Amino acid sequence: MKRWLVALLVLGLSAMAQEALKVGVVVSATGPAASLGIPEQNTFLMLQEMLDRTGGVAGRKVQFVILDDASDTTQAVRNTRRLVEEGVVAVIGTTTTPASLGMIPVVAEAKVPMISLAASKDIIYPVDAQRHWVFKTPQTEELMARAIVADMVARGVKTVAYIGFNDAYGEGWARFFEAEAKAKGLQVVVSERYARTDTSVTGQVLRIIARRPDAVLVGASGTPAVLPQRTLKERAYAGLIYQTHGVANPDFLRVGGKDVEGTLLPAGPILVAEQLPSAYPTKRVALDYIQRYEAKYGIGSYSTFGAHAWDAWLILKPALERALKRVDSAKDLAAFRATLRDEIEATRNLVATHGVFTFSKEDHLGLRFEDAAVMVRVENGRWKLERTFR
């Protein structure tokens, strides 16, 4: 009888040790942000396969619980609640800024660390009681605006016009770009807005051309960013045209065709990974990711957005390993989550695909400008590395 009990106990204990570490993932695999969310989801599916093959982290199995928020804030919040109740050790996601902002109070209340995959600086700044729990991997508009303005200054641009979406994306860019431009002595002569669904931007473009700016920045994402650029070309605008990193996907080139030749844009270095100088810190990691992704999903299938998801795991994995040494997640989940958060914040000089991450108490973005942004030009329908900032 006693022997049986011991055997049962041993079985139970080993089952507990075998129980997988759950990592919650929220992505926008459907809805308007699907072109960003799908490569992110694919990256986690690929990671799950890899981890199943190699046996997980520090001898513990890892299970990604992936939920789709359909690009909707309410759904993202609901998903996050569900993940917290399922006992995940951390939450990664989500794709869009508004939904990520919505998730912050939930993870902060439950005291679960979160790594967002969305762009806005508001997600991680300022690091207050709630954002204490929140980190993120993509570059902010502020960082990318800095790259654009630096490039403009280097090319001798004096006057510049802005045309962007009339939503959070376009407004965010207007704010950061115009502030940065003013700080560097550029004159923003006109600032226009248009809607994603607009069928014509002739009025805005005429107004821009009438002011004769040296350069125009289009603050838009995806294929709707083509329309202002095409209209500028049709109206024979001869100055420089800049886009944001929101257009760094093949669809932009497909729809834009000849009209977007010569476009300048800032991007994460992974967009032009093969063209980076061999001393560039992120080159090896980026090529590794691209190779794995393309092996699974086909040549040319990778995107910079999926790489943000990969970076989130690159940050989380060593933090998990360190946290597992300190606290037993099976015994005290709350303590483990808190320790995991501390270990994420303790990340130093972690080389990822989009840059080198060093978090601190005040900085939950952790990217250094020099490693996290490059300028790219569209040439013959391809991305060509224009300059690095190192």
Establish if 210 lies at the interface with other proteins (CB under 8 A). yes
Which listed range, 28-36, 75-83, 180-188, 354-362, lies at the site for other proteins (CB under 8 A)? Answer: 28-36
Q: Please tell me whether residue 57 adopts helix, strand or coil conformation.
A: strand
By C-alpha distance, which of 167, 169, 165, 217 is closest to 193? 165
Strands (E), 28-184: 62-68, 90-93, 114-116, 134-136, 159-165
CB of 303 to other proteins, least distance (A): 12
CB closer to other proteins, 249 vs 347: 249
Retrieve residue 346's tokens. 């303790």
Dist. CA 120–CA 208, nearest whole Å: 27
Establish if 32 lies at the interface with other proteins (CB under 8 A). yes
Establish if 201 lies at the interface with other proteins (CB under 8 A). yes
Dist. CA 188–CA 190, nearest whole Å: 6
Establish if 301 lies at the interface with other proteins (CB under 8 A). no
Helix residue ranges per DSSP H, 184-263: 202-210, 226-234, 250-256
When binding is defined by CB under 8 A, the residue of 42, 95, 116, 204 that contacts other proteins is 204
Which listed range, 24-32, 131-139, 348-356, 370-378, lies at the site for other proteins (CB under 8 A)? Answer: 24-32
Rg (CA), the chain: 22
96: amino acid identity, one letter: T
CB 294 within 8 Å of CB 300:
yes
Establish if 194 lies at the interface with other proteins (CB under 8 A). yes
Neighbours of 235 (CB within 10 A): 12
Dist. CA 217–CA 225, nearest whole Å: 11
Establish if 381 lies at the interface with other proteins (CB under 8 A). no
CB of 227 to other proteins, least distance (A): 6
Residues 142-171 contacting other proteins, CB under 8 A: 163, 166
For 116, which DSSP code? E
When binding is defined by CB under 8 A, the residue of 78, 81, 82, 196 that contacts other proteins is 196
Neighbours of 389 (CB within 10 A): 17
CB closer to other proteins, 167 vs 321: 167
CB of 166 to other proteins, least distance (A): 6
CB closer to other proteins, 27 vs 327: 27
When binding is defined by CB under 8 A, the residue of 72, 122, 141, 192 that contacts other proteins is 192
Establish if 31 lies at the interface with other proteins (CB under 8 A). yes
| DSSP assignment string, 59-86 | TB-EEEEEEE-TT-HHHHHHHHHHHHHT
Establish if 6 lies at the interface with other proteins (CB under 8 A). no
CB of 252 to other proteins, least distance (A): 8
Establish if 197 lies at the interface with other proteins (CB under 8 A). yes
Footprint of other proteins on this chain (CB under 8 A)?
Answer: 30-35, 163, 166, 192-204, 206-207, 210, 222-224, 226-227, 234-235, 251, 255, 257
